[in-house]
Chain A
Amino acid sequence: MVNYILRRLGYAVILTVLVSFVGFVIIKLPPGDFLTQKLEQLRARGDRSAEAQIEALRAKYGLDKPFMEQYTTWAVGFLKGDFGESFAYERPVRDLLGERLWLTVILSVATLIVVWALAIPLGVYSAVRQYSLGDQIITTISFIGLGMPGFLLALLILYFAIVVLNQDVLGLFSPQYQDAPWSIGKVLDLLQHLWVPAIISAVTGAGGLIRIMRGNLLDTLGQPFIEAARARGLKNRDVIWKHGVRMAINPLIVILGSEALPGIISGNALVSIVLNLPTIGPLFVQALRQLDMYLAGTCLVIFTILLMLGNLLSDLMLAWLDPRIRLE
């Protein structure tokens, strides 16, 4: 087991290096870089010292050096905890991410809990009461959630909240609390804003999970061991949860590891853009568009690490839950 974990971690390190390298190459692929874009802007404004300024910046960020050297400098710095500097913000990437990190985590964990707390019971209900009115309603809503992109739902809810309810729900805080220190009022204000992303994530995120839970549980409930458990005199509820759900939950564990953990950091980027949420997702999208390569590269590497960690964790959890799975 220890061997297995060590080997998986070894692969993860190799893969992270590869992903960071390829990511770096792809960010570099478009002609020009952040500074050539900036140069154009300065020239357009008629700044005479533009060339000199840019050259100074180029030297400062090491952009005049060969590609491999740029990469290794950044990668070595990364290991020391120095993720380089963002061109657009002219601040260290570390500080930029740090600011947004914990709001992102709060938001993601909150929605994760809402989504899972909704999806599992609804999926179970849907399977146990197959073709009942409740099942039909849940199924319809989960197909809407599966089919509609989150940002579209975000726009609809925004329209509803602002025009109908006349409530400001953009961002995570009202303007007066934006930079205020933490207080009960600020927390209440946060909760007032949090419901919008929570509903959107619940509908879009739970839809798929409900369908998976329902399908798996229906398969499991048809198995002979379910009938055998009932013949032993178990309560229907215990048959469903201790034998049915217990066996049907495996695919959800895989999803929890491979989608939910990386999602905690990135958040839903498009929804965050629409709702103007200060999470890491929009920062990453913007960095890619502006060729802000250290910021983009750092986000990419962090997502990769979390994805692999999530996969490893879900594999370990599966092995712990199901004795038939052995890790070697």
Chain B
Amino acid sequence: MESISKDLFIEVKDLHVEFDVRAGIVKAVDGMFLEIRRGQTVGVIGESGCGKSVTARAIMNMIPKPGKITGGEILYHRRNRETGEVQTIDITKLDPDGEIIRQIRGGEIGMIFQEPMSSLTPVYTAGQHIYEAVSLHRLIPVKKLGDQMVETIVAHRKVTKEEAREIAVEMLRKVGIPKPEQRVDSYPHQLSGGQRQRVMIAIALSCQPEMLIADEPTTALDVSIEAQILDVMRDLQNTVNMAIMFITHNLGVVAEMAEEIVVMYMGKQVERARVVDLFYKPKHPYTQALLRSIPRIGKKSDVRLATIEGMVPDPFHLPTGCVFHPRCPMFMPGKCDKIEPSNIQVDDHHWARCLLYEEVKV
């Protein structure tokens, strides 16, 4: 138990995020649980609007207005880079423009976004973006010979422009941008979509974060570029050992990237398992339906692809009981529409939120 808790990096516990819009209150995240260990890749999948991106932004404590974290906690087990001491902070309690969260954003948790085309500020070059990030987070220790002839760190200084440029060129080379010495001075409009996403990754990694949140990083790119970007991310993860929270609605991508998968539906975690277990032994009817909707090579072509019945419910009028019950093929009348299921461990390292696995009295 001791070693497990030492490895924990982020723990999202019963997180609630609400958006107070004119038509009413939308519960974008409604009792979400998530655990990410150091160096681990967790895939978060779900339909559009299920709260994946909002959960990610909550971890960065940058929920856009009019959203608000209304409950739960996000525990961040912060390790001091020099002493190795671990200190636990609740991110939801931090001032959203305060010193600590600004050190965490970019410096300890990096983030890349869905829209590489518009995630770079058009008037700054790739190098300027990297310089901006590096000058905030990458401090160079100033060493001095102490009493016992041991070098001790007496202070930290910011990187200089020249050092930042070297870092920028180096990072661009690492993410596979050709001619990085020239590209470092390119403006975003002079780069292609794939190159821009590489630049975004380079910016995020230039500060050596311990976790990278990738919010659908390849959705806006075509498939061949997508494969390249995924390769870049996997290679880098192997060399720098950071955790990745990989958000996507693409089941193929997540199977390739992640060790563990969390399936979200209407702001909740409905299933959590290791990749292999989730794909071969899905427990939750929603996950099973999702997997049935993937086309398979070799299957008879005259069989229509399975779809999930019904529509995503209206966020202002959520179904009672289990939110998935109106669309569920295993719907048990009198049970699923009355009782809200809780998170049940159904197997070794496998959890599902479904009444099929829960003993309840009606």
Contacts and interface: CB of A to CB of B under 8 A. Distances in A.
Interface of A: 223-225, 227-236, 243, 246-247, 321-324
B189 interface: yes
A225 B121 contact: yes
A126 B137 CA distance: 31
B123 A323 contact: yes
A231 B111 contact: yes
Interface stretch (B12-20, B101-109, B342-350): B101-109
Given A232-B203, A234-B132, A324 B118 contact: no
A324 B105 contact: no
Contact of B119 (A225, A247, A323): A225
Nearest to B96: A236
Contact of B97 (A225, A236, A323): A236
Candidate in A228, A229, A230 with the most chain B CB atoms within 10 angstroms: A228
A321 B113 CA distance: 26
Contact of B187 (A225, A227, A323): A323
B107 A224 contact: no
Interface secondary structure of A, over-half rule:
helix
Given A231-B62, A232-B136, A323 B122 contact: yes
Interface residues of B, number: 29
Interface of B: 60, 62, 64, 97, 102-107, 110-111, 113-115, 118-123, 132-133, 136-137, 187, 189, 200, 203
A156 B93 CA distance: 53
A232 B113 contact: no
Contacts of B200: 228
A261 B123 CA distance: 26
A233 B209 CA distance: 12
20 contacts: A224-B114, A224-B118, A225-B118, A225-B121, A227-B64, A228-B111, A231-B60, A231-B62, A231-B105, A231-B106, A231-B113, A232-B106, A232-B133, A232-B203, A233-B103, A233-B136, A234-B132, A235-B102, A323-B122, A324-B187
B105 A230 contact: yes
Nearest to B102: A233
A264 B111 CA distance: 48
A324 B122 contact: yes
A233 B121 contact: no
Nearest to A222: B64
Nearest to B62: A230
A4 B332 CA distance: 75
Nearest to B190: A323
B122 to A, nearest CB: 6
Given A225-B120, A243-B121, A232 B105 contact: yes
